Structure 1
């Protein structure tokens, strides 16, 4: 068996053996139970050490591709275990509602309303390079637990970034987390208890609603307008209730794509002081900004605002690196909860992100990303206008448009989407009580796909709808 080992390749020899043998099993169509050539023979024929072949085969046993019999060698497993992307389902918002995968569609499913970038957009070479740099130059303590506040090198980079966007803080007021969801969970555990009341935007972040409900927190919803939370509605709620926190997206709000106006921001801070509540400002899409914007954390707030962000949306969700900044008193409490519930964050992942920030790679990547999203946003808005969709607001940036087809064409939309293999993020997902809504979150990074364009057209043309539904 010629394994085709390339000793100049960056892929380790053992992994090359695993890949070559797995490919041989698939291509040759050998029957389960077939005995593989002896290890000594494989090693001799391919100029390999026997230990490398043994390690590769042991890995394949762990993967369910091979079976080992004492004294008899290695055999093709009786029942191969599916591996790789085809053997698993990717998480997405609404999955638990049974929307399911479009396995019967030859093109697969298009997650038109998802909250992340397409895989094809990611510049993985930069991340791979950073991983190599980290493992080559920073091995001391790299695989130990991180410090309670997080890796100092990363927090120093975060301090520079926060200062650049005019958020006044210090190194001891910054704590890293495993993404923004982890930060929100820690804040809920620290600041709230079952039975407490908070204010959330509607529409808003679906996972936040579920997280708060899981902890027994009561939700009061305030409508999201073009410029932020509806101030009149919020003031009415405050006359009756004493909420502990307000959760808000300031920039490129999820799902409407709107951004906070200065007038609304200033009034929110006044109310937070007068009514004694905290504002948790989630800014996971803030790095996509390419225009002047208003952040509550950048305004004088006397520690009333807690800022949360992460690199999951812009860089990689697999790294799970997020952070928050708050008063030293709150940070001290958060550190205790963080240590108690998870011991710490990944020093390795944080070192990779710190490297990408320090060498300027992340900054250049985000600049390219902004331009690309801006182009897709313009195109998507034009298509929706041409097909007579209603748009809640024209976003100044980011990746979301909140839109719906005109009234007469909505009932057939779901059926048409399923036929095309398009997964929709329905408006009910972004309501605290799950109330039905015709609005849809559209991620412009996916909107140029032919399946999305076909859906926009089908929902925008009465004649097309009638034609397709009569077939």
Structure 2
């Protein structure tokens, strides 16, 4: 079996083995019970170490694609009963999740980092450290505002990015979505109007709609919300809030420019609305940037952030900064609805912040993402894809084939085993669009590269699939 290992790729060899075997099982329709070549033979044929093949096979067992059989080694597992999947998640229902996607598929448009990028040793160290030093209260409830030692670390971090606040103005949450939920339920009621960016974060749209809030759409431009469109809306509407993703916007990858930021604050004062600024990708910044929370805003800006995107989606640790009066209201609702946040998770993040591990990890992550961003942009340019804007950092690109062809894209993505995030997922009305969110951390995978090339203007899907061995 030729696994087609590319030793120059940024994707680790073990993950390439996992992807190649999963693709072979899916493409060939291999029957359950089929025996795989021996580990020794597979390693020999592909010039691999046996330990790499063993680790890859163990991952495939954990994913349910392979099983072990006494005396037969590894065999193709009996598939679990699932509903039919589409070439992307959620379009039929309007919204989707990649968390329950078919095993072995490439989640090219997902919103998190690949498992192989995570540095589990640092997290393991933090677990051991807090287990040794905080055993007496480790599994108790945290305080209403959050673990004091974490909030002290957050205050230091906010000071470094020029966000002026104090300990009693910081509240920890179960991630950024929890922070937004608390704000929506505290500040808004059914029938209220808010301004949202489009394209934008789908989960925010759903949270607002669930509360019966009316969404006023403003297009996202390269430097932030489209100001003429916003000013036009404000002539006839009186929104309570504006929700904005300032840095490395999801899904376009763009960042707020200073002139737009200053005008937004002027409008907030003139029209009397609050601004909820989400900054979950802000730690990925490379150079100077503009945050509304770092400017003079008279308590009109509420800052929301999280460690779920940079550390782990399983570590549900987020936080927000607002006026002391609002924080008191939010803390009451937080306690009423959830009895507080996880002391264990917050102690882990506090440890990683205090010992410098998180800072060093983010520095390495920025370099890795920067290289992936440059490489992906080059491939898309070569294949004549259209890119909405060239981001200064972060993990997202908003792009579409130079000659949009939804049917061809659908066929190619299905054949290659690629899950996409189409534009409909980032529209408040689920409006169909040719644009796709691309997570550059996954774009070096051979399946992603084959998709980009297949959608070039001078190539056919069948030609690309043949030349890439897919």
Q: TM-score, normalised to structure 1's length?
A: 0.78
Please give the per-residue CA displacement for 1:386-424, whole angstroms capped at 9, x wherever unaligned: 000000000000000000001354441111011100001
**For the Cα contact (< 8 Å) 1:409–1:462, is it kept in 2?**
no
| Pair 195,122 (structure 1): closer, same or farther in 2 beyond 3 Å | same
Residue 455 of structure 1 aligns to a residue in which SS? helix
Q: In the alignment, which of 374, 386, 405 is matched to residue 382 of structure 2?
A: 386
Match of 2:255 in 1: 259
Contact 1:409/1:465, CA 8 A, preserved across alignment = no
Question: In structure 2, do the counterparts of structure 1 residues 161 and 240 end up closer, same or farther at CA, with 3 Å as the change threshold?
Answer: same
- Determine the structure 1 residue equivalent to 2:112: 116
Does 1:440 pair with 2:436?
A: yes
- Asked whether the 8 Å contact 2:190–2:213 carries over to 1, the reply is yes
2:266 aligns to what?
A: 270
Which of 339, 348, 351 pairs up with 1:352? Answer: 348
Q: Partner residue of 2:329?
A: 333
Counterpart of 1:376 (choices 367, 372, 378) is 372
Counterpart Cα distance in 2 of 1:256 and 1:430: 10
Residues 46-65 of structure 1 correspond to what in structure 2 (within 5 A)? none
Aligned to 2:394: 398
Q: Which string of whole-angstrom CA distances, capped at 9 and with x for unpartnered residues, describes residues 163-199 of structure 1?
A: 0000000000000000000000000010001111100
Aligned equivalents of 1:376, 1:229: Cα separation in 2: 27
Unmatched 5+ stretches in structure 2: 1-66, 72-77
- Asked if 1 retains the 8 angstrom alpha-carbon contact of 2:89 and 2:419, the reply is no
Check the 8 A contact 1:103/1:109 in 2, yes or no. Answer: no
Separation in 2, partners of 1:223, 1:398: 20
CA distance in 1, matches of 2:192, 2:442: 39
Q: How does 1:413-452 map to 2 (within 5 A)?
A: 413-452=409-448
| Corresponding residue to 1:301 among 272, 275, 297 | 297
In structure 2, the partner of 1:237 is 233
Partner of 1:248: helix, strand, or coil? strand
Q: Structure 1 residues 100 and 256 mapped into 2: Cα distance closer, same or farther (>3 Å)? A: closer
In structure 2, the residue corresponding to 1:140 is in which secondary structure?
A: coil
Report what 2:177 is aligned to.
181
SS at match of 1:445: helix
How far apart, in 1, do the equivalents of 2:461 and 2:386 lie? 17
Provide closer, same or farther for how the CA distance between residues 215 and 99 of structure 1 changes in structure 2, counting only shifts above 3 A: closer
Deviations 1:288-344 (Å, cap 9, x if unpaired)? 001110000000000000000000000011110000000011101101110111010
CA contact (8 A) 1:410 1:459 kept: no
Separation (CA, whole Å) in 2 of partners of 1:414 and 1:283: 33
- Please state how far the C-alpha of 1:212 moved relative to its aligned partner: 0.6
Q: Is the 8 A contact 1:384 1:456 kept in 2?
A: yes
State whether residues 93 and 114 of structure 1, in contact with CA within 8 Å, keep that contact through their aligned partners in structure 2. no
Query: Relative to structure 2, which stretch is displaced further, 254-263 or 93-102?
Result: 93-102
Correspondence 1:213 to 2:185: no
What is the CA deviation profile of residues 19-64 of structure 1, one whole-angstrom value per residue up to 9, with x for unaligned ones? Answer: xxxxxx96549xxxxxxxxxxxxxxxxxxxxxxxxxxxxxxxxxxx
When normalised by structure 2's length, the TM-score is 0.79
- 1:61-106 CA-to-partner distances (Å, cap 9, x unmatched) read xxxxxxxxxxxxxxxxxxxx999xx9xx9xx97385597989999x
- Whose radius of gyration is greater, 1 or 2? 1
Deviates more, 1:134-143 or 1:380-389: 134-143
2:319 is the counterpart of 1:323 = yes
Runs of 4 or more above 6 Å deviation: 98-105
* Cα distance in 1 for residues equivalent to 2:95 and 2:196: 25
Q: CA deviation at 1:108?
A: 1.8
CA deviations over 1:206-247 (Å, ceiling 9, x no partner): 110011101111100000000000011001111111100000
Q: Secondary structure of the residue that 1:308 maps to in structure 2?
A: strand
Distance (whole Å) between structure 2 residues aligned to residue 103 and residue 220 of structure 1 = 31
User: Could you tell me whether the CA contact under 8 Å between 2:303 and 2:322 is conserved in 1?
Assistant: yes
Distance 1:103 1:469, change over 3 A: farther
Aligned: 1:134 with 2:136: no
1:161 is the counterpart of 2:157: yes
Say if 2:253 and 2:397, in contact at 8 Å, map to a contact too.
yes
User: Is the partner of 2:256 in helix, strand or coil?
Assistant: coil
- With over 3 angstroms needed to count, the CA separation of the structure-2 counterparts of 1:468 and 1:128, relative to structure 1, is closer
CA contact (8 A) 1:252 1:285 kept: yes
Distance in 2 separating the partners of 1:27 and 1:467: 39
Structure 1 residues 145-166: Cα deviation after superposition (integer angstroms, max 9, x where no partner): 1000000000000000000000
SS in 2 for 1:279: strand
Distance, in Å, in 2 between the alignment partners of 1:351 and 1:118 is: 24
Aligned partners of 1:94 and 1:425 also within 8 Å: no
RMSD: 2.8
Q: Following the alignment from structure 1 to structure 2, what is the Cα–Cα distance between the partners of residues 385 and 82? A: 39
Q: Could you tell me whether the CA contact under 8 Å between 2:305 and 2:319 is conserved in 1?
A: yes
